[in-house]
Amino acid sequence: MGHHPRNEGPVTVHTTVEMEGLMANLEAAQIDALAVRAYLAA
């Protein structure tokens, strides 16, 4: 980090945004799975 700020900056931000999106999708999938289990168990 810091050696090539012009190159690493945008890539790092882009990767962070993608990771946040993936984490959000995983959390949503887990919530959906819990909802389905609760529905089936009810």
Q: Of 18, 11, 38, 17, which is closest to residue 1 (Cα–Cα)?
A: 11
Residue 26 has pLDDT above 70, yes or no: yes
DSSP 3: S
Domain boundaries, the chain: 14-41
Residue 9 has pLDDT above 70, yes or no: no
Q: Which residue has the higher pLDDT, 4 or 42?
A: 42
Q: Is residue 8 a contact partner of residue 1, using CB atoms and an 8 Å limit?
A: yes
Q: Chain-wide mean pLDDT for the chain? A: 80
Tokens 């959000």 belong to which residue?
24
